[in-house]
Amino acid sequence: MNNTLSNTSIKCVRDTSVTAVVFPCLYSILFIVALILNSLAAWIFFNIPSTSTFVVYLKNVVVADLLMTLTIPVRVLSDAGVGFWQLRAFHCRYSAVLFYITMYISILLLGLISLDRYLKIVKPFGKCSLQRVRVGQILSAAVWVIMLSLALPNVILSDQPPAVSRGKLKCSSMKSKAGLLWHEGFNYFCQVVFWGTLALMAVCYTFISKKVYESYKASKSRSHAASRRTKAKVFVVVGVFFICFAPFHFARVPYTLTQTRNTAGQCQAQNALYIAKETTLWLSATNVCLDPLIYVFLCKVFRKRLTATLCRKPLHHSMESPTATSTQLEMSQVALSTRLPHNGMP
Ligand SMILES: Nc1ncnc2c1ncn2[C@@H]1O[C@H](COP(=O)(O)OP(=O)(O)O)[C@@H](O)[C@H]1O
């Protein structure tokens, strides 16, 4: 088999009989839920001043999630085959790229959040430079700039006249040789980003859960059920992250190779990998709904603020004060890692 970069996968007609029906439905549901949850999260978050790195990262996650949500309608129409091939070309060149970039920005920010929680235990009084708000803002900006600039060639090098085979345009068919090379290389880079972040999260949360256990032992708590609950909450973050993103990263490499290498004659395998990639990508996209649940609704002060907003109840005076709000937000999140007697966990 000739293993050089080539666009021979174009010859294999993509079977979209299932995907053109199932995925537009699944993404439409996701879009509605994600839009509601993230708009609400954004509205609440932007009423909280950025007084800690934690809030800075969360705000960035909300922005990335909202942007990703906004790309979903184009994906739905393009997958359903509604509109001209130009819509599919727009999806391939711009919208899908933005979708992927925001996904990896969220992944990196979730990694930074884990590191931040870990540092909060090691240095509870914020003496480390990584815990400074300014540093958090710079790191967040760096994540955006790096991901946007590295993904830009995916847009620029998708400049070939698309090969529309029976109306089904493959994004890779719009790429030049250099475009295919960048697409493949950048996908390897993204694999490193994901598995690296997962490893970082596993280390941080293992340490956090150890501290939770020690603090229970120290306080001689007899409430084993409560202890188990807190540990479970700590691992929800890593668990959800793994379940959402790992399947996609297993499927992505072989699928990318079918896009960039000579796999002519393996049309069935190409189509099977396409379905695997689309299914696991949808699973990854569900993270856009789970981020607000994990990082917003597990926070007691945030939940109170949300309840107050929804029920239009005036908040207690101390919670209205910006300093008190952010401090309490921090406290209840730290409670995920250190269940201190004065924490605000439920
Ligand atoms: N990790 C990524 N980051 C940024 N852009 C990406 C990433 N993976 C793929 N892309 C780009 O998104 C577009 C759609 O890619 P892909 O989903 O592989 O195509 P298809 O829908 O034909 O399977 C392409 O322009 C591709 O280069």
Ligand 1 pocket test, candidate residues 71, 186, 190, most atoms within 8 A of CB = 186
Determine whether the shortest distance from the Cβ of 12 to ligand 1 is under 6 A.
no
Output the residue whose Cα is nearest ligand 1's atom 2.
100
Report d(CA 29, CA 139) in Å as an integer: 33
| Structure-block tokens of residue 240 | 């959800």
Question: Which residue's CA is minimally distant from atom 5 of ligand 1?
Answer: 97
Spell out where the chain has E strands.
164-165, 168-169
Complex ipTM: 0.98
Q: What does pTM read for this prediction?
A: 0.86
Beta strands in 47-196 (DSSP E): 164-165, 168-169
The mean pLDDT of the chain is 81
Verify whether ligand 1 is closer than 6 Å to residue 233 (CB atom): no
Q: Which CATH number is correct for 2-339, 3.40.50.2300, 3.30.360.10, 1.10.10.10, 1.20.1070.10? A: 1.20.1070.10
Please indicate whether residue 234, judged by its CB atom, sits closer than 6 Å to ligand 1.
no
- 223: Cβ–Cβ under 8 A, 6 or more apart, which residues? none
Q: Is the pLDDT of residue 277 over 50?
A: yes
Query: Position of tokens 């919670």?
Result: 319
Q: Is the dihedral of CA 266, 269, 275, 277 positive or negative?
A: negative
Give the number of the atom of ligand 1 that is nearest the alpha carbon of residue 259: 18
Per-residue pLDDT of 288-333, as tens digits, reads 998 887 766 566 667 777 777 778 655 554 333 333 333 333 434 4
**Highest mean pLDDT, choosing among 11-25, 174-188, 220-234, 318-332:** 174-188
Burial of 190 (0-12, 13-18, 19+ CB in 10 A): buried
Contacts of 138 (CB under 8 A, 6+ apart): none
- pLDDT for position 313: 57
**Cβ of 5 below 6 Å from ligand 1:** no
How is the chain split into domains, by residue range? 2-339
